[in-house]
A and B are shown apart, each in its own frame.
Chain A
Amino acid sequence: MNGNRLRLFTFAAPSRFYSLSGSLLPWLWAAAALLAAAGLYLGFFVAPTDAQQGESYRIIFIHVPAAWMSMVVYLAMAGWAAIGWIFNARMASMLARALAPSGMVFTLIALATGSFWGKPAWGTWWVWDARLTSELILLFLYVGYIALVEAIDDVKRADHAGALLAIVGAVNVPVIYFSVRWWNTLHQGATITMSAAPKMQSTMLTAMLLLTFAFWAYAFAVVFVRARAIVLEREHEAEWVRGLALAARKLS
């Protein structure tokens, strides 16, 4: 037990994370670019015009993946924040902080593209419907989390306060997801569910899934880069960081 626990902490060490994520980054960036290129090609040059919505439906290729990511990233952020708090694991808290700005960006994309879709489809940029309102609350949760952890100087206290906010706010994620079922919303119901065949033509679905994977790869890449920056900022006094910095100077 003791040996296992020691090993677990070795892998969770910031120095270990730094080198491991560094070797994965080129692959993640490449995967994001290739998947996005393939998804956009399929979405704009292969997928047919939608019978009901005309060409405006092509917004879903980024709208739906961004909305999914906004929720998944929030759950990941709350999860890492909780692990960091409970087990006092530094790297987990740093990952939670690294996830927040990316989640905020995906939420902004989901809201903005949704607005661009709503205007021609519903005749309005915005309605206070349950889906839209709960997604807007998600944006406020991200902004609130970032503002809270940045406002507290003591790193440990900031991480704990942020974890509390993130965990409480996680209640909002199922509310967003099920809002179209629980309430009578202007927003349409789920196109893709685990239990039924997708109500979508297959090239459209493939384009959307390719862009979903592109967003996943991008999210991993950018969160890793931000987490690496946070590791360097917090641990710049550590021996391994100084060794790294000196090695970087020799290369340039």
Chain B
Amino acid sequence: MSWGSASEFFAMGGYGLYVWGSYGITAALIGYEAWSTLRRRRRALNDALASAAQKAQR
């Protein structure tokens, strides 16, 4: 372990932009994918519920 302080850690030996840029983009892409996919599944279940309720009324 080579970090003397938090600011040294964030500086990444002068490569901060590249290292944190990489991890930031990865976190953003994976976060968005997981969120939108979970939302899609929830919506699909709700739609199935709505069509089931419609069928029950008829």
- What band does the interface of chain B fall in when counting residues whose beta carbon is under 8 Å from A? 20 to 34
CB-defined contacts of A55 to chain B, threshold 8 Å: 12-15, 19
Question: SS class of chain A's interface: helix, strand, loop or mixed?
Answer: helix
Cβ-based interface call for A113 (8 A): yes
- Assembly CA distance A246 to B44 (angstroms): 13
Q: Specify the chain B residue showing the minimal Cβ separation from A252.
A: B49
CB-defined contacts of A48 to chain B, threshold 8 Å: 2
B1 with A46: CB separation less than 8 A: yes
Cβ-based interface call for B55 (8 A): yes
- CB B21 to nearest CB in A, in angstroms, measures 5
A242 with B14: CB separation less than 8 A: no
B19 with A236: CB separation less than 8 A: no
Cβ contacts A99-141/B at 8 Å (1 or 0 each): 0011001001100110011011000000000000000000000
A222 with B34: CB separation less than 8 A: yes
A226 with B48: CB separation less than 8 A: no
CB-defined contacts of B52 to chain A, threshold 8 Å: 241-242, 245-246
Report which B residues bind A (CB closer than 8 A). Answer: 1-3, 9, 12-15, 17-19, 21-23, 25-26, 29-30, 33-34, 37-38, 40-41, 43-45, 47-49, 51-52, 55
Cβ contacts A56-71/B at 8 Å (1 or 0 each): 1011001100100000
A63 with B33: CB separation less than 8 A: no
Cβ-based interface call for A244 (8 A): yes
Cβ-based interface call for A153 (8 A): no
- Assembly CA distance A101 to B13 (angstroms): 35
- Assembly CA distance A184 to B55 (angstroms): 64
**In the complex, how many residues of chain A place their beta carbon closer than 8 angstroms to a beta carbon of chain B?**
42
- Assembly CA distance A83 to B25 (angstroms): 34
5 more A-B residue pairs beyond the given contacts A105-B33, A229-B37, A245-B49, with a C-beta to C-beta distance below 8 A: A46-B1, A56-B13, A109-B29, A229-B41, A233-B44
Cβ-based interface call for A225 (8 A): yes
CB-defined contacts of A109 to chain B, threshold 8 Å: 25-26, 29-30
CB-defined contacts of B51 to chain A, threshold 8 Å: 236-237, 242, 245
- Assembly CA distance A226 to B9 (angstroms): 37
A56 with B18: CB separation less than 8 A: yes
- Assembly CA distance A246 to B13 (angstroms): 57
- Assembly CA distance A46 to B38 (angstroms): 34
Cβ-based interface call for A88 (8 A): no
Cβ-based interface call for A142 (8 A): no
Q: Which of B14, B21, B26, B40 has the most CB of A within 10 A?
A: B26
Q: Specify the chain A residue showing the minimal Cβ separation from B39.
A: A229
